[in-house]
Amino acid sequence: MILFGLIIIRDRERALAEGIERPCPACGRTQPHGLLETYRQAHLFFIPLWRWNWRRFLACDVCGQVESITAEEAGEICRRSE
């Protein structure tokens, strides 16, 4: 999305952790999961300005089942996986 020809808004995604072993509700077994974070970011030309609409997800590596989690849960998973 481009506003006023100067500010560009993009959705971003990054992986926070991989290979997190946990039960998958779709598979019904313990499977490796990836922890993903998405957010929306505004840029002025190529300069990043603001980030908002943060969301965290756990995605099963086997079946692709995606589960939304809170920032606190994501932080706890990151601490345990270190």
Q: What does the binding site for Zn ion look like in residue numbers (CB under 5 A)?
A: 24, 26-27, 31, 60, 62-63, 65
Question: Are 74 and 16 within 8 A, CB to CB?
Answer: yes
The CA distance from 30 to 23, in Å, is 4
Exposure of 23 by Cβ count < 10 A (0-12 exposed, 13-18 middle, 19+ buried)?
Answer: exposed
Minimum distance of Zn ion from residue 33's CB (angstroms): 8
Nearer to Zn ion, 59 or 74 (CB): 59
Nearer to Zn ion, 12 or 22 (CB): 22
Give the closest residue to 68 by CA, choosing from 81, 54, 58.
Answer: 58
Nearer to Zn ion, 34 or 43 (CB): 34
Minimum distance of Zn ion from residue 19's CB (angstroms): 14
Minimum distance of Zn ion from residue 49's CB (angstroms): 37
